[in-house]
Amino acid sequence: MRGQFVASACALVFLACGGSTEDRPDAPASVDASRVDAARPDASPGDDASIADASVDGEMIDASVDASVDAPVDASVDASVDAPVDGPPPLTQVLRINEVNANATNCDLVELRAPAGGDLTGLRLVERKDIVFTFPAMTVPADSIIVVHFGAAVGGPCSSGISANETTSPTEFPRATFPGNYDGAYDLFSVDAGLTATNNVISVMRTTTVIDAVLLASGPTGITATDSEEQAAIVAAQNQWQMVGGGIPAGGFVDDNFSAHAALDLDAGGATPAGSSIQRLDNTDDNDKADWNAGATTVQPSTWGALNVGQSPL
């Protein structure tokens, strides 16, 4: 394939310069790929440099051919999985997912904790592969708690009794005036209608870098949506989720293997924010389901805007 492509390129260059195969009776029908590679020992797949100075029967070729056409393509892998990672986040731009309720009919919630504090501007909260909230310009102190409320669009399930985004302090818009807010947290509002309560992946991302993530499932077995599986692959590739004890199951976090290694019972949270929730159990971040309670068997009342049971100030 490589030799045929270069031969075609050479023919095009020759003809473009006013020549023809009749002018070149000695022109070979094809080019030996090994000879082209030998002429450019430093060439590699994906190299944007042009293939030049290759010889055909001792004559020089000056054809600019993008070597990236020879790069292997894995059509079975979503391109986003192979997207370049923009590097680890600064220590002052780290958020941990701390609590989730995807079952509240009048306002799904995701709570985040900022261990070191810092500038959160532009960070993204992602459900499966969809950005459901982008952080406004805001800087928070260490150990701050942030609660993202869903359904905040006009007429949405969480549109009553809420404020604008709190970006300066947790009591910028106090609960006494806005009963949907939590005075222990920066309250932020997403117009996304709500979280899916089946197998799901919640991630915090800085463009392509996964800062934190949690795999969540409604039961220990079951079919998983393709978008959840693809985001799980991205998360696992960046070492933000694993099996308890380490590693990734053969074939990845897919269907039953997704459910078996996810924090459980996303559909068992309370029907209101005041009910039970899926919570991080302590201050550690082991990137596996052991960090989390199981909503149906280890029922824990919600603690929005406060530390969870088992956590202590950092």
Q: Do 188 and 281 belong to one domain?
A: yes
- Per-residue pLDDT, averaged over 291-295, amounts to 96
Q: Do 67 and 101 belong to one domain?
A: no
Would residue 231 count as lying in a domain?
A: yes
Looking at the predicted structure, is the pLDDT value of residue 275 above 70? yes
Q: Do 148 and 22 belong to one domain?
A: no
- Per-residue pLDDT, averaged over 271-281, amounts to 96
Q: Do 170 and 57 belong to one domain?
A: no
Q: Do 51 and 146 belong to one domain?
A: no
Would residue 215 count as lying in a domain?
A: yes
Which pLDDT score, from 0 to 100, does residue 84 have? 63
Strand partners, 111: 99, 147
Q: Do 111 and 225 belong to one domain?
A: yes
Q: Do 180 and 284 belong to one domain?
A: yes
Give 135's pLDDT tier (boundaries 50, 70, 90).
Answer: very high
Which residues have CB under 8 Å from 26's CB, separation 6+? 57
pLDDT tens figures, 30-83: 333 333 333 333 333 333 333 233 333 444 334 333 333 333 333 333 434 445
Which pLDDT score, from 0 to 100, does residue 103 have? 95
Would residue 60 count as lying in a domain?
A: yes
Measured in whole angstroms, the distance separating CA 135 from the mean position of its chain's CA atoms is 16
Would residue 306 count as lying in a domain?
A: no
Q: Do 35 and 115 belong to one domain?
A: no
In contact, 268 and 258? CB cutoff 8 Å: no
Strand partners, 97: 112
Q: Do 278 and 210 belong to one domain?
A: yes
pLDDT tens figures, 136-190: 999 999 999 999 999 999 888 888 888 999 999 999 999 999 999 999 999 999 9
Domain assignment of residue 201, given as a range: 96-291
Q: Do 63 and 104 belong to one domain?
A: no
Residue 173 phi, psi dihedral angles, 5° rounding:
-125, 90
Looking at the predicted structure, is the pLDDT value of residue 262 above 50? yes
Would residue 253 count as lying in a domain?
A: yes
Looking at the predicted structure, is the pLDDT value of residue 88 above 90? no
Number of domains in the chain: 2
Q: Do 190 and 103 belong to one domain?
A: yes
Q: Do 190 and 283 belong to one domain?
A: yes
Q: What is the mean pLDDT of the chain?
A: 80
